[in-house]
Amino acid sequence: MSVTGETQASVRVQGGHARGQRTLLAALCFGCVASVGESALADHAECGAAYVAAQKLMREGKLRSARKQLIECAKDCLPEVERDCTTWLTEVGSSMPTVVVVALDGRGEELSDVSVEIDGETRAASLDGHALEVDPGRRRLKVTRRGKTHQLELTILQGEKNRRVEVHFPEVNPAPPESGPSAGGSPNGATTQRDQARGVGPRADAGLPTGAWIAGGVSLTSLLGAAYFWLAAENLRQDLLDRGCAPGCPEADRESIRDRRVIGDVLLGVGVVSAGVFGYLWLSDSGPAAAPTRDGAWAGWRGRF
């Protein structure tokens, strides 16, 4: 088959047009695919960033910020990403510590007009009993009421829930004084502690302490015993003199006299010491009975027998 030059040129032109059309079509198709891929990536870009940021924040213990990122990546993302974020979101909720700040006045009543800052961030403009979520670790709390501020440093444990933090404002509604009227006793005739300290009214302790009674009993018994053994020793000595054996009386009789005298001396010492203890306790219990008067003053010491 012979082909003329004009025919060959026509074939070359047609072939060139065909190749150009195929190239253009391929370019258009690639552009379509690229356009679809960029759109998909754009739709999931925020999810991917939240996914990565949440993991970093969880490692750093910043659970409150991590939860915000997990909420973003747990919706409208790839199924695998949504599954991980949902699981981590549950774990963060379980590990998130909470504190309950309570402000009390001078009478122990709760105050509500109190603001709370945690690490410089205002977390509550007033107190309503609700728990506040905090990150674990060392935290700085600032509790303020009408210009009066209390600052606290707390170590918050991971997973610690509803930790009660009390802050006291004793200058608000202070508690009343415990004592009653200071002069002349109470209106109903009862005597207050302050009255007793000033010597007004009867003393609260109407009897001697038990130790004083014991010391007095020991002292009396010891002194009586000392007198008995001394008299016994003296009687025995007198008997020996009457028998005319002195100075060659039996050694056993002489030892008996010495033993009785020694026992008497020991009992005398016990009696004197016990008497001193009794006197000290008696005087301590009695106390001074001085009381101021309009016309002057007098001093005295009161005791009981």
Tell me: the pLDDT tens digits for 191-239?
445 444 444 444 444 567 787 788 888 888 988 988 998 888 888 888 8
Averaged over 175-196, what is the pLDDT?
A: 52
295-304: long-range contacts (C-beta < 8 A, 24 or more apart)?
A: 304/208
pLDDT tens string 102-130: 999 988 999 999 999 999 999 999 999 99
Residue ranges of the domains in the chain? 44-95, 97-169, 194-286
Is 232:200 a contact under the CB 8 Å cutoff? no
Q: Which CATH number applies to 97-169: 3.40.50.300, 2.60.40.1120, 3.30.830.10, 3.30.450.20?
A: 2.60.40.1120
Residue 7 — pLDDT band, cuts 50, 70, 90? very low
Highest mean pLDDT among 23-27, 153-157, 246-250: 153-157
Instruction: Answer yes or no: is pLDDT of 12 > 70.
Output: no
> Which range, 161-165, 201-205, 249-253, 261-265, is most confident?
161-165
**d(Cα 6, Cα 280) in Å, to the nearest integer?**
148
pLDDT above 60 (res 131): yes
With a cut of 80, say whether residue 5 has pLDDT above it. no
The pLDDT of 32-61, averaged and rounded, is 71
Residue 59 in this model has a pLDDT that exceeds 80: yes
C-alpha 8 chain-centroid distance: 103
Q: What is the DSSP letter of 230?
A: H
SS3 291: coil
SS3 assignment, position 269 = helix
Specify which residues 164 forms β-bridges with: 100
What's the average model confidence in pLDDT over 251-256?
81
- Tokens read off for 170: 């004793």
- Within 8 A by CB and 6+ apart from 184, the residues are 200
**With bands split at pLDDT 50, 70 and 90, how would you rate the model's confidence at 188?**
very low
d(CA 201, CA 281): 22
pLDDT exceeds 80 at position 90:
yes
Quick one: DSSP state of residue 198? T
**Tokens at 280, concatenated:** 């000290």
Given a contact cutoff of 8 angstroms between Cβ atoms, the answer to whether 72 and 46 are in contact is yes
Structure-token match 């391929």, residue found: 26
pLDDT (average), residues 8-15: 42
At residue 29, φ and ψ (nearest 5 deg) are -65, -40
Q: And the tokens for 79?
A: 């199924």
pLDDT at residue 172 greater than cutoff 90: no
Going by pLDDT thresholds of 50, 70 and 90, the confidence category of residue 55 is very high
DSSP code per residue over 30-71? HHHHHHHHHHHHHHHHHHHHHHHHHHHHHHTT-HHHHHHHHH
Please tell me the predicted confidence (pLDDT) of residue 234: 86
What's the predicted TM-score (pTM) here? 0.45
What is the mean pLDDT of the segment spanning 258-271?
A: 88
Where does the pLDDT of residue 173 fall: very low under 50, low under 70, confident under 90, or very high at 90 and above?
confident
What mean pLDDT is reported for the chain? Answer: 76
Residue whose tokens read 């302490």: 209
Contacts of 265 (CB under 8 A, 6+ apart): 226
